[in-house]
Structure 1
């Protein structure tokens, strides 16, 4: 018995070490919670396990992570605070060990009937953030016809601390993402007020860029970065425009305009450097005026040296300009402009990106 207890403690420590590492490496809350209940269920030898989080407004628990044969079915169910075993634990903030649920009047058999599952025994512990209950963790049906005990409760409580850290990290990331989105909205408004493009221009560029990116295999975080880089690709023009607010129609000043405009990708990239959240956007913004054959600016990159996001933005930006000119140009002039755009595949533009644009606009 002592040997088995020692083996459990070693497993527990190994699992907690792995989870601690995952907490620093993984930001996906669902992945983390599923790992935690997997380890917890294995160590206390349970058949199924769940983490339920508390919705304070509705005063009910919802399944955030679950393990077992009915893990998918139970996710659509909610548990009212105070009802059933999980609801009782959430209300009282106390752990429960019940090795025969049929003898406990807090057990709600309707839930088992609904998902066609037989609960025999259960251990349920509260998730506590500081002094506040944020949910519960439960493990169901002790294997090998043995009983849950106080040692199992101690083990589960050590895992609840990891759950609370994961939830806290997720809330921090959520706040940062909200901050990130709000900053971008403010910047876009400022860019449109300059004006650097018609209202809605940058959103249109971002929507088409991500549509093309999707067809070129851009997914996950790279897809998000492409969207935000497309929104902010001309950010540097704000600073440049203020610096050169002169009459560029005068021929003697035209070279000043061209020189200043040509540095706007660098200016935009340097502006984004000030905010750590934007670090992944910087290469795409800096290089969106590079040409596929190496004749672009600011660094004369060529071909695959140019970030894929930059190659996509380069095509989309010029295509959107042609669309805007439809109102003032004749259809023939627009067709000519589009042919000119396509003819620059391999010189100014990446041929793969041009082909995807043709596919999207059915040409």
Structure 2
């Protein structure tokens, strides 16, 4: 694997980006009752996905690990730009079981959504072994996609702050009345916190 490099325009060692990503995976894991949650960012030059934040299983050793950007379900999400729920990974041809074994955690189910800003896919947000009710609900997948979309916007703004001053803000989430109010409120509370961090003085 290649060495460290800029990933989709986001410096992986930038403290603001690192804190933001850690918040995203911690809250995503809690919202969906998952065993683990990860953010992979796309290194376009190397065509690799990089573990940039991990909560739960694997958090002690997976950050910084790379794998081909067209590999597994995360690779499918990057390529398609679409979110995905797989309730039974034993039946998924896209699931890279050998890679999962190398991470020391083979989940039974996962949810994944692309981090999209404009027309670019910046990476993928995954939750592994979410609570059973989250595995069969389109509303929960919509929530994950909303969360990933807003997190991607915040990531780009964090990157912009290292350049000339910008006045842009993350877009307010579109109303989603079908989403469960409890999890949705917790996710939007986090995004409001991220917005406050991004607007604070450098």
Q: Does 1:38 align with 2:22?
A: no
Asked if 1 retains the 8 angstrom alpha-carbon contact of 2:83 and 2:145, the reply is: no
Gaps of 5+ in 1: 1-26, 178-279, 281-363
Residue-pair matches, total: 152
Scaled by the length of structure 2, the TM-score of the pair is 0.68
After the TM superposition, which residues 187-206 of structure 1 pair with which residues of structure 2 at under 5 Å, given as runs?
none
- Structure-1 separation of matches of 2:39 and 2:136: 18
- How far the C-alpha of 1:165 sits from its partner, in A, is 2.4
After the TM superposition, which residues 182-261 of structure 1 pair with which residues of structure 2 at under 5 Å, given as runs?
none
Match of residue 172 from structure 1:
160
Q: Does 1:95 align with 2:79?
A: no
- Structure-1 separation of matches of 2:36 and 2:28: 10
- Structure-1 separation of matches of 2:57 and 2:95: 20
More helix by share: 1
- How far the C-alpha of 1:146 sits from its partner, in A, is 6.7
- Structure-2 separation of matches of 1:160 and 1:108: 22
Segments ≥4 residues shifted beyond 4 Å: none
Q: Does 1:117 align with 2:98?
A: no
CA distances 1:123-178 after superposition (whole Å, capped 9, x unpaired): 0111111111111100000236873421211111221133112211221122249x
Q: Does 1:51 align with 2:39?
A: yes
Asked if 2 retains the 8 angstrom alpha-carbon contact of 1:49 and 1:137, the reply is: yes
SS at match of 2:113: strand
- Of residues 119, 134, 140, the one that matches 1:152 is 140
CA distances 1:173-206 after superposition (whole Å, capped 9, x unpaired): 22249xxxxxxxxxxxxxxxxxxxxxxxxxxxxx
Bigger-Rg structure (1/2): 1
Q: With CA pairs under 8 Å and 6+ residues apart, which has the higher RCO, 1 or 2? A: 2
With over 3 angstroms needed to count, the CA separation of the structure-2 counterparts of 1:171 and 1:46, relative to structure 1, is: same
Match of residue 55 from structure 2:
67
* RMSD value, Cα: 2.2
Gaps of 5+ in 2: 1-14, 166-201
- Structure-1 separation of matches of 2:126 and 2:132: 18
Match of residue 131 from structure 1:
119
- Structure-1 separation of matches of 2:110 and 2:67: 16
Q: Does 1:140 align with 2:128?
A: yes
Match of residue 198 from structure 1:
none
CA distances 1:52-109 after superposition (whole Å, capped 9, x unpaired): 1111111111011110121132224213122101011101111111011110011111
